[in-house]
Amino acid sequence: MAGIYIHIPFCRQKCYYCDFYKTVNTTQTDNFLSSLKKEAALRKDYISEEKIKTIYFGGGTPSVLNENQLFFIFNFLSDFFLVEPEAEITFEANPDDLTKEYLQMLKNVGINRLSIGIQSFQDEHLKKMNRRHQAKQAIQSIENAASAGFSNLSADLIYGLPGLTLQEWKSSLQQMFRLPVVHLSAYHLTYHQGTPFYTWLKKGTLKELSENDSIKQFNLLIDEAEKAGFEQYEISNFARNGLYSKHNSAYWTGEKYLGLGPSAHSFNGDSRRWNVAHVDGYILGSENNSSGFEEEQLSEKDKFNEYILTRIRTKWGISVYEIEKWFGLKIAGQVEKEAEKYLLSGKMKETNGIFTLTRKGLFVSDDLMTDFMII
Ligand SMILES: C[S@@+](CC[C@H](N)C(=O)[O-])C[C@H]1O[C@@H](n2cnc3c(N)ncnc32)[C@H](O)[C@@H]1O
Ligand code: SF4
């Protein structure tokens, strides 16, 4: 079983915090789609003959694509891959694109899971982030999606924003849980170099939220999600009734995936690949049949670090039995020894040989993770 990720590198407007690869110049969209088809044909063997269990349209903004463009993609996917009839097909969409007609079209082409980028339910914060939508539209987009028959609905929120109060965050969360979503991805704001938010932070024109306030917002997120019946199955991901993102869960449990499009990453258990992060370079590369990606073969040490990195923040945790089976008794022993201090300090817990992070541990997951990794 494997997954396919398709990066759609176009946005109608750039949000001030975002460093995902994208361009607002959409004149190359059709050339880009032809390159995508060429790439799929060239790279299909990377994940062998595995059946495709999940497809994920990410971005950028996949909802800039029209019906013909989506049909074009689905046609070549079914030419080159064995897509399971029950495959989870997720589509990231911006609220301002989700008209009733567009939602109906997404249903017709075969999308069965939507991930809507809400980010906030406060107009003031949406404006500060340079989002194109307002709170009213955000609510409407989720309601319209549910009416169009999308039951597997996910939404994104960002917290830790400059000036975001605990009361505002609570009201955004409560608003979200009143809507028909079964999944929430809630990310703490990251200041990425090269984004306007980062520049303003460095200049001092934008003030970072205090660590104490960030922690309070993280705690509130977990409490409100729990009250609404959502399980935290990864540090930033919450689901009702076990409706996890199958695609992302597959990343975290080490399954193979093929990434298509500029900046997309791929993994097949033995190597990692990442594509050039530039539309023109990507198109040019496909015209010249040049590789267009960089590749790293994974050593045993890399594989172990990859295991820690992907698993530690999830409910599946790190298992001493799996580590023993795949990396040997000695490494399993080291992991158990390293975990001791975290068990004592209450940052980790252990159930039947599986170590997972407690809420206290999730706050410091970056530091904790590096302690387990082999340098
Ligand atoms: C590929 S992006 C956006 C998809 C879609 N274009 C949208 O904006 O709704 C996926 C998600 O990453 C999150 N994100 C992007 N940049 C972030 C940052 N700097 N800090 C925290 N979350 C971020 C946002 O919640 C966003 O919805
Ligand atoms: S958050 Fe979404 S819409 Fe905004 S710039 Fe990033 S990819 Fe584009």
Rounded to an integer, the average pLDDT of 237-244 is 98
Angle, to 10 degrees, between the axis of helix 329-344 and the axis of helix 365-372?
150
Q: Which atom of ligand 1 is nearest to the CA of 191?
A: 19
Q: Which is more confident, 64 or 283?
A: 64
Averaged over 107-136, what is the pLDDT? 98
pLDDT in tens, 82-97: 999 999 999 999 999 9
Q: Are 63 and 91 in contact (CB under 8 A)?
A: yes
Ligand with minimal distance to 117 CA = 1
Token pair of 268 as six digits: 């097949």
Per-residue pLDDT, averaged over 322-339, amounts to 96
Distance, CA of 199 to CA of 327 (rounded, Å): 43
C-alpha distance from residue 370 to each of 264, 335, 338 (Å): 25, 12, 11
Nearest-angstrom CA–CA distance, 184 and 176: 9
pLDDT category, 290, cuts 50, 70, 90?
low
Residues 216-237: tens digit of each pLDDT? 999 999 999 999 999 999 999 9
pLDDT of 297 reads: 96
What's the pLDDT score for residue 249? 96
CATH top class, domain 2-250: alpha beta
Q: Which of 166, 278, 176, 307 is nearest to 230 (CA)?
A: 176
Three-state SS sequence of the chain = CEEEEEEECECCCCCCCCCCCCECCCCCHHHHHHHHHHHHHHHHHHHCCCCEEEEEEEECCHHHCCHHHHHHHHHHHHHHCCEEEEEEEEEEECHHHCCHHHHHHHHHHCCCEEEEEEECCCHHHHHHCCCCCCHHHHHHHHHHHHHCCCCCEEEEEEECCCCCCHHHHHHHHHHHHHCCCCEEEEEECCCCCCCHHHHHHHHCCCCCCCHHHHHHHHHHHHHHHHHCCEEEEECCEEEECCCCCHHHHHHHCCCEEEEECCCCEEECCCEEEEECCCHHHHHHHHHCCCCCEEEEECCHHHHHHHHHHHHCCECCCEEHHHHHHHHCHHHHHHHHHHHHHHHHCCCEEEECCEEEECHHHHHCHHHHHHHHCCC
Distance 58 CA to ligand 2 centre (A): 10
Query: CA 279 to CA 217: how far, in whole Å?
Result: 37
Ligand 1 geometric centre to CA of 118 (Å): 9
Å from CA of 61 to ligand 2 middle: 6
For residue 60, cis peptide bond before it (omega within 30 degrees of 0): yes
Give residue for tokens 């023993």: 324
Please tell me the number of the ligand nearest to residue 195's CA. 1
Give 43 Cα–ligand 1 centroid separation in angstroms: 27
In this predicted structure, the answer to whether residue 156 has a pLDDT above a threshold of 70 is: yes
How far apart CA 120 and CA 138 sit, in angstroms, is: 9
Please name the residue whose Cα sits nearest to atom 6 of ligand 2: 18
Residues in the chain: 375
Q: Is the pLDDT of residue 291 over 70?
A: no
Domain at 312-375: CATH code: 1.10.10
Q: Which ligand is nearest to the CA of 11?
A: 2
How far is residue 33's CA from residue 102's CA, in Å, rounded to a whole number? 20
Atom of ligand 1 nearest to the CA of 95: 9
Q: Is the pLDDT of residue 289 over 70?
A: no
pLDDT, one tens digit per residue, over 300-312 is 999 999 999 999 9
| Distance from the alpha carbon of residue 23 to the mean position of ligand 2, in angstroms | 10
Who lines ligand 1 at CB under 6 A?
17-18, 20, 58-59, 61, 92, 94, 117, 119, 156, 158, 187, 189-190, 192
The model's confidence at residue 36, banded by pLDDT at 50, 70 and 90, is: very high
Burial of 77 (0-12, 13-18, 19+ CB in 10 A): buried
Split at pLDDT 50, 70, 90, the class of 146 is: very high
Name residue 170's amino acid. Answer: K
Q: What number is the average pLDDT over the span 157-175? A: 98
| Annotated domain spans of the chain | 2-250, 312-375
**What's the chain's average pLDDT?**
95
Which of 8, 184, 187 has most ligand 1 atoms within 8 Å of CB, for mutation? 187
Q: Ligand 1: distance of its center to the CA of 176 in Å?
A: 17
pLDDT of 209: 97
Which ligand has the nearest atom to the CA of 187? 1
* 175 touches 139 (CB < 8 A): yes
**Dihedral over Cα of 42, 43, 47, 52: its sign:** negative
Pick the atom of ligand 2 nearest to 119's CA: 1
Residue 287 has pLDDT above 80, yes or no: no
Distance of alpha carbon 337 from the chain centroid: 32
pLDDT at residue 140, rounded to an integer: 98
CA of 82 to the centre of ligand 1 (A): 30
Which of the listed residues 8, 15, 129 should we mutate to test ligand 2's pocket, taking the one with most ligand atoms within 8 A of CB?
A: 15
CB-defined site of ligand 2, < 6 Å: 11, 14-15, 18, 20, 22, 59-61, 94, 117
More confident residue, 280 or 292: 280
Radius of gyration of the chain (CA): 21
Percent pLDDT > 70 in the chain is 99
* Nearest ligand to residue 248 Cα: 1
Which atom of ligand 2 is nearest to 94's Cα? 3
Mean pLDDT of 90-119: 98
Residue 107 burial (C-beta neighbours within 10 Å; 0-12, 13-18, 19+): middle
pLDDT-based confidence at residue 284 (cuts at 50, 70, 90): confident
Q: What is the pLDDT of residue 50?
A: 86
**CA angle 189-192-195, nearest 5°?**
105
pLDDT band at 285 (very low <50, low <70, confident <90, very high): confident
